[in-house]
Amino acid sequence: MGQRGVEQSELPPGQRLQRGWPVTHYGPVPKFRPERWEFRVFGATADGDKHCWNHDEFTALPYDSVVADLHCVTKFSMLGAEWGGIPARTILETAPPSPAVTHVMVWAEYGFSANLRLADFAADGTIFATHKDGELLTAEHGFPLRLVVPHLYAWKGPKWVRGVEYMTADRRGFWEERGYHNVGDPWKEQRYSYQEGPGEGPEL
């Protein structure tokens, strides 16, 4: 068990173990400009306001860590990484959603996005990571900030994340609009949108 109890040292069905840590993403690696960076929480917040942090403010939020695996839908998995950063739950507590919120859209540089059910975002292991295994993330792995959602496929965790939109209905993110499963549970092999059952995603 990891610090927050989410370590899974087992491979989900159809996955194989990857040694080393490959880089997988769509598009170029963005350049980090600290003076322009801000983290925004917007949409259906409890107080109706937008909440913003600059880089110093965001990284001053209480630090925690999670030992968790990363499962890429292209079938490789990396097991047992320690992710350090700010738990998603801290964001929910600091900038609470309105009671009507059911889903979130996590936004990253260049308009990349991933949608999550509120419960998946609020889960114990979900963390905005600044570090992996005690070291700052490298640019290609998401520096200065990436989301890690240990219990879902890795595309649900945007690298270079810049904010969260609270939503009162579900909407598909970048890969979810492009044929990937709306929920993305690797233990159920929810890889593609054609596998979605009733209630698992908005109409295609």
Ligand X SMILES: Nc1nc2c(c(=O)[nH]1)N[C@H]1C(S)=C(S)[C@@H](COP(=O)(O)O)O[C@H]1N2
User: Which residues contact ligand X (rule: CB under 6 A)?
Assistant: 21-26, 72, 108, 112, 141, 154-155, 157-160
Asked if 72 interacts with Mo ion (CB under 5 A), we say yes
H helical segments located in the chain: 55-59, 88-94, 118-121
95 interacts with, out of ligand X, Mo ion, none, CB within 5 to 8 A per kind: none
Give the DSSP H/E element, type plus range, for residue 42.
strand 38-43
Give the separation between CA 129 and CA 83, rounded to whole angstroms: 6
The two three-digit tokens of residue 186, written as one number: 């690797």
At closest approach, how far in Å is the CB of 128 from ligand X?
13
From the list 19-27, 103-111, 141-149, 173-181, the region that binds Mo ion by CB under 5 A is 19-27
At closest approach, how far in Å is the CB of 71 from Mo ion?
8
From the list 8-16, 54-62, 153-161, 192-200, the region that binds Mo ion by CB under 5 A is 153-161
Q: Which is nearer to ligand X, 24 or 59 (CB)?
A: 24
Closest CB to Mo ion belongs to which residue? 72
61 interacts with, out of ligand X, Mo ion, none, CB within 5 to 8 A per kind: none
Strand order across the 38-43 sheet: 51-54, 38-43, 161-167, 103-108, 113-117
- Strands annotated E in 45-176: 51-54, 64-71, 76-87, 103-108, 113-117, 127-132, 135-136, 146-148, 161-167
At closest approach, how far in Å is the CB of 153 from Mo ion?
7
Give the separation between CA 118 and CA 46, rounded to whole angstroms: 14
Binding positions for Mo ion, rule: CB under 5 A: 24, 72, 154-155
